[in-house]
Structure 1
Amino acid sequence: MTDEEYAAALERERRERNERAEYVVRDEHGEYHLMRRNGARQAWGVTRYVKRETAELAAAFLNRLKEDEA
């Protein structure tokens, strides 16, 4: 495997990993739930917040952290 092929494979793996799961905010019953959603669009709760801004900030931070990790 050449250096270029290796770099392309790493980039492809990084994109696939980033597409698999993401953090989203869902408004339910006056609370804002931070949810982790997988590639099949299934979601489960991580935690809940009283303020939408806080939930969105947490989701943005976790999504960015996931991207940097990849």
Structure 2
Amino acid sequence: MTDEEYAAELERERQWRNERAEYVVREEHGGHHLMRRNGSGQAWGVTRYVKPETAALAAAFLNRLKEDEA
């Protein structure tokens, strides 16, 4: 495997990891729910926030951590 092939494979794996799940915010029942959504569109709740700004900040932070991890 050449250096170029190796670098391309690492980039492909990084993109795959970033696409498989993300954190989103949904407003339901008077609260703002931070949810983790997988590549199939299924989502499950992580926690609930009163303020939408806090929920959005948490989602952005977790998505950024996920990108850095990949």
Name the counterpart of 2:5: 5
Does residue 1:25 correspond to 2:25, yes or no? yes
Q: Which runs of 4+ in 1 moved over 3 A?
A: none
Unaligned stretches of 5+ residues in structure 2: none
Give the Å deviation of 1:39: 0.2
Percent identical among aligned pairs is 86
Give the Å deviation of 1:62: 0.2
TM-score normalised by length of structure 2: 0.99
Give the Å deviation of 1:60: 0.1
TM-score normalised by length of structure 1: 0.99
What is the CA RMSD across the aligned residues, in angstroms?
0.3
Does residue 1:37 correspond to 2:37, yes or no? yes
